[in-house]
Structure 1
Amino acid sequence: MTLLWWLSSLSLLSLLSWLWLACCQGLFWRTDVRLPPGRRAPDRWPDVAVVVPARDEAALLPQSLPGLLAQRYPGRARVILVDDHSTDGTAAAARALAGAVAATPVAVAPGPGFPGAPGGLPLTVTTPPPLPPGWTGKLWAVRHGVELAGEVELLLLTDADIAHGPDTLAALVAAAETDRLDLVSQMARLRTETGWERLIVPAFVYFFAQLYPFRWSNRPGARTAAAAGGCTLVRRRALERAGGIAAIRGAVIDDVSLARAVKRSGGRTWLGLAERPAELRVTSVRPYPGLAPLWRMVSRSAYAQLRHSPLLLLGTVLGLTVVYLVPPAAALTGLLTGFSPLAATGLAAWAVQAGTYLPMLRYHDRPPAAALLLPLTALLYLLMTVDSAVQHWRGQGAAWKGRTY
């Protein structure tokens, strides 16, 4: 009986934690932080350079690069693909795709709220010098692309596995110009086609929003700052004021680091979820066919998120256990033993937990019943985080395409 009362106390603590999270953590669970629906065209369309770092992405470029090249942007824009010393013919694939897009007529119909513009942005394919010490490969490639872009006003930093609808660039620029933002970022919709993707991906965005509530991040003067590296538009002046890409050159979680640098230097930032209409869609085309690649995606940067601190790791493990794992354990134990206080608090905490997850599941077109599996997903993330720390201690942390940071 003492054990049941002890578990009841933990269950009550979990319930109180969930009530606080639901009400006081920036309404992180809501999915309505999007680009304003009433977008209007700005008075002028500034020059934009789209910088795409790519390392061994030849297989994915046919799904992502044509959409970038076919942007319906009313101003002047160009795409710079930085081939980060690939070994699979990424540069040749990019050039071939650019030739195919140039030979295909592109519709010039206006997008929602924007004037029509000829499609077909020019492409430059380049390779940076060898990677110097202290830099991650992606940021070294981005720096090279930014330098090559020249004196443009805006830079769209996007990954080679991100597909863009034809009006995403115009929508991002319109938001930056009309709302006077220095950084505008959208969290791309990740694939949810396989069973493991459907289990893990919605929670990935949910946990990110819990750590960095979008409403807090978008509030001027707030300490929270975040961005999504797959789609980030930044003003060149704001980037230079923040110290340039060199200021975050060793960051593994480079998107959050960039947003923090811009915000610390006085810039205004905005982060939201990608839109659903095809014209404005921002989606990741990278497949995760099994648990192993998803595990690597999370574990690659999880311990870096904790600043490589064993103390923060311990706190995270305990927190995930109490907040996510105790409710179902308490509910099932209480029901099986007939101990009603334990069953009541466990079921209540599990219900609040599942309720906060429902909007994210709807956003990813998942059924409501999947919310009951969030404790299982949290357990997987807990194990991934511990594995991330183990890999770091072994000198194998943050490994990506042949490089370890």
Structure 2
Amino acid sequence: MSILAWIALGSCTIWAWLLLGQGFFWRTDQRLPRRAAEPDRWPSVAVVVPARDEAEVLPVSLPSLLGQDYPGAAEVFLVDDGSDDGTGDLARQLAARHGGLPLTVTSPGPPEPGWTGKLWALRHGIGLARARAGGAPDFLLLTDADIAHAPDSLRTLVAATANDLDLVSQMARLRVAGAWERLIVPAFVYFFCQLYPFRWINREGARTTAAAGGCVLLRTAVAERAGVPDAVRGAVIDDVSLARAVRRCGGRIWLGLAERVDSVRPYPRLGDLWRMVSRCAYAQLRHSVLLLAGTVAGLCLVYLAPPVCLAVGLFGGDAVAAWAGGAAWAVMAGTYAPMLRYYRQPLWWAPLLPVTAVLYLLMTVDSAVQHHRGRGAAWKGRTYPRPQTAPER
């Protein structure tokens, strides 16, 4: 057989394994577990929202938090992380206009050395919540400023913890409106699920661990036992770091796709999406050139080889390369289809996944280039020259 045929067969074998052996990552049925009966006493919750220059999205997201239909005691802490666009003042105006849950707006000042801005803001908000006269809340809801919650979101999150869960996290449904968002956003979640299969994460005692930082409900006692957020203060990929810290101290974790928790942040241009991915892609690879090289080679073999082998095999008369490449591409598109349905997108986007994979490959390489130029993870005017991954110990 030709070298091309061997490459096609290798890719086909990998896709057969991904289909059956990677925790069924492509299925989208990991949804929030529901409780049949409501608790006799609803635990208290502090909602902590780190916000930096979020005036564009706050009019949609903040009223959804203030308007939560929650039977227990709940309070919202919005931490204005050095915004220049009037985020804090706007939050107060929205609270006065919409009412609902009590809102405290505070600002901790610039982060101390070794802290990322978001985790510094979370530290300040969690500290305020713990210092309340009534005592520390039973739970912390850590949610990003661009996340809009359905009115029963907090109630269903808390109810899910009745299954002895200490951390319940939902992957918010990201905005998909423009062409670039349709091409890149569903694939972003698909790749995340491939890297961190939700079924594996949700098994008790599992080694695979992750969370989705936009929506995390965390038991306060477990957060204190895990040393959160101080234990992960320098992590750029803070959600995975947080989940690992919780699991290391014996906490039980659940992660799934959201049904009524949505990100309202727009990414209309390719550059917006590029910055979102590239700011932490190299951190995910632990800033290793060897891991980067392996990732590039793997992406080429898994995502690019199938259509290339099919095309070259058909035009060059290599039947093995053609059918193996075609089979791999078909499995690839088939596993992507459920995510497209979840995002309510046409299934004809599925065969375009190799194009999206090329873009992610370039974003990852760009992330490495920026890191080695000393620019690190740049986000909203801050640069972390040596961003950290989730600690292993």
User: Do both share a fold (TM > 0.5)?
Assistant: yes
* 1:11 Cα deviation from its structure 2 partner: 0.7
Determine helix, strand or coil for the equivalent of 1:188: strand
- Structure 1 residues 71-220: aligned runs within 5 Å: 71-102=68-99, 120-150=100-130, 151-176=136-161, 178-220=162-204
Please name the residue that 1:322 is paired with.
301
- Structure 1 residues 232-251: aligned runs within 5 Å: 232-251=216-235
- The count of aligned residue pairs is 379
Counterpart check, 1:273 vs 2:270: no
Between the aligned partners of 2:56 and 2:172, the Cα distance in structure 1 is 19
Please name the residue that 2:237 is paired with.
253
| Identity between Structure 1 and Structure 2 (%) | 68
* 1:131 Cα deviation from its structure 2 partner: 1.2
- Structure 1 residues 327-338: aligned runs within 5 Å: 327-338=306-317
* 1:216 Cα deviation from its structure 2 partner: 0.7
Contact 2:34 2:159 in 1 (8 A): no
Match of 2:42 among 45, 48, 70: 45
Please name the residue that 1:262 is paired with.
246
Contact 1:39 1:171 in 2 (8 A): no
Contact 1:217 1:224 in 2 (8 A): yes
Please name the residue that 1:117 is paired with.
none
- Give, as a single letter, the amino acid of the residue that structure 2 aligns with 1:220: E
Contact 2:81 2:109 in 1 (8 A): no
Please name the residue that 1:290 is paired with.
269
- Give, as a single letter, the amino acid of the residue that structure 2 aligns with 1:207: F
Contact 2:140 2:219 in 1 (8 A): yes
Between the aligned partners of 2:362 and 2:329, the Cα distance in structure 1 is 20
The superposition leaves residues 238-276 of structure 1 with CA deviations (integer Å, 9 ceiling, x where unpaired) of 11111120000000000010001000110000000001x
- Give, as a single letter, the amino acid of the residue that structure 1 aligns with 2:11: S
Determine helix, strand or coil for the equivalent of 1:232: strand
Please name the residue that 1:32 is paired with.
29
Please name the residue that 2:390 is paired with.
none
Contact 1:39 1:175 in 2 (8 A): no
- Give, as a single letter, the amino acid of the residue that structure 1 aligns with 2:288: S
- Give, as a single letter, the amino acid of the residue that structure 2 aligns with 1:239: A
Between the aligned partners of 1:315 and 1:39, the Cα distance in structure 2 is 47
Determine helix, strand or coil for the equivalent of 1:85: coil
Contact 2:82 2:109 in 1 (8 A): no
Please name the residue that 1:55 is paired with.
52
* 1:339 Cα deviation from its structure 2 partner: 1.8
Determine helix, strand or coil for the equivalent of 1:274: strand
Between the aligned partners of 1:379 and 1:28, the Cα distance in structure 2 is 21
- Structure 1 residues 339-358: aligned runs within 5 Å: 339-358=318-337
Contact 2:187 2:356 in 1 (8 A): yes
The superposition leaves residues 129-159 of structure 1 with CA deviations (integer Å, 9 ceiling, x where unpaired) of 3311000000000000000002111000000
Between the aligned partners of 1:39 and 1:20, the Cα distance in structure 2 is 37
Please name the residue that 2:391 is paired with.
none
User: Once superposed, which parts of structure 1, at least 4 consecutive aligned residues long, lie more than 2 Å away?
Assistant: 36-40
Between the aligned partners of 2:186 and 2:180, the Cα distance in structure 1 is 11
Please name the residue that 1:114 is paired with.
none
Between the aligned partners of 2:239 and 2:82, the Cα distance in structure 1 is 22
Please name the residue that 1:309 is paired with.
288
Please name the residue that 1:115 is paired with.
none
Determine helix, strand or coil for the equivalent of 2:173: coil
Q: Tell me whether 128-137 or 37-46 shows the greater mean CA deviation.
A: 37-46
Counterpart check, 1:12 vs 2:2: no
- Give, as a single letter, the amino acid of the residue that structure 1 aligns with 2:296: V
Between the aligned partners of 2:148 and 2:140, the Cα distance in structure 1 is 17
Between the aligned partners of 1:87 and 1:39, the Cα distance in structure 2 is 46
* 1:36 Cα deviation from its structure 2 partner: 2.4
Please name the residue that 2:65 is paired with.
68
Determine helix, strand or coil for the equivalent of 1:32: coil
CA-atom RMSD in angstroms: 0.9
* 1:38 Cα deviation from its structure 2 partner: 5.4
* 1:378 Cα deviation from its structure 2 partner: 0.5
Between the aligned partners of 2:24 and 2:124, the Cα distance in structure 1 is 38
- Give, as a single letter, the amino acid of the residue that structure 1 aligns with 2:280: S
* 1:42 Cα deviation from its structure 2 partner: 2.1
Please name the residue that 1:116 is paired with.
none
Change (3 A) 1:304 1:39: farther
Between the aligned partners of 2:278 and 2:6, the Cα distance in structure 1 is 32
Between the aligned partners of 2:48 and 2:286, the Cα distance in structure 1 is 28
Please name the residue that 2:388 is paired with.
none
* 1:39 Cα deviation from its structure 2 partner: 4.6
Between the aligned partners of 1:343 and 1:371, the Cα distance in structure 2 is 19
- Give, as a single letter, the amino acid of the residue that structure 2 aligns with 1:187: M
- Give, as a single letter, the amino acid of the residue that structure 1 aligns with 2:281: A
Contact 1:39 1:174 in 2 (8 A): no
Runs of 5+ unmatched residues, structure 2: 131-135, 385-393
The superposition leaves residues 208-231 of structure 1 with CA deviations (integer Å, 9 ceiling, x where unpaired) of 000000011111111111100000
Contact 2:35 2:160 in 1 (8 A): no
